[in-house]
Structure 1
Amino acid sequence: MVGELIDTVAWVLIVDGRILCARPAGKEIFYIPGGKRESGETDEQTLVREIAEELTVALVAETVEPVGVYEAADGAARVRMSCYRADYRGKLTASSEISEIDWFGYADRPRVPPVDQLLFDELHAAGALR
């Protein structure tokens, strides 16, 4: 039985058929950038804060639009990831929280967690991720 629900939001940025992924400091696996909400935050507020913290760019709040919600078991937990697209201002740079950023294609799917793999599958099927 899967225990705790980890509720997250993520920023889907695709350029030339590749999606931006980030590897947090101290971890081996890459994730779609984003994170968990703080008490009382909306998805949009969480997304804007997390992306500023992780990638040092400012999302343009009025351009935030939903992509989808994905849910998968990951170890003893279940992860729900609400995904959004948005324009941004600034230069993408890994903050001290992030060891590395990279652009992944569909072949990189095994390098991300199960919930992210669901997003990869959908984007690939739609022709957005090569």
Structure 2
Amino acid sequence: MVLCEDGECSVCLLPYSRMDRIPRVLHCRHTFCEPCLETISRLRSGHLAVSCPLCRRVTCIGQERSLQEALWVDLELWERIQEAAVVEEQEEVEEEEDGQKRRAAVQRMEAKQQPALQAE
């Protein structure tokens, strides 16, 4: 299995998110997104069992609990997801501001050129 960037699940290779790809920690301390953990989990002897795709250690979860209840969120990754979202939002604002500056510069150039064109 390929180890990928910290911000991506090493099973599906998609980035973690706070909505649908929440990073959850197995007992072996490896982290994967919820959908992948749900896909690889199996019911064994009345317990939900998740075999880690990296080290093969099995994490067992009692009948009365779900994956979301039993497995902790990887808080380090959770915080980075928030930071990444803020950075992306800031970049979008900066791109919009750059676009507005470019449009204003084009309008100024056109305004300077209009008197010359009218004189002709």
TM-score bracket, shorter-length normalisation: under 0.3
Which structure shows the higher helix fraction? 2
The structure that has the greater radius of gyration is 2
Greater relative contact order (CA < 8 Å, ≥ 6 in sequence): 1
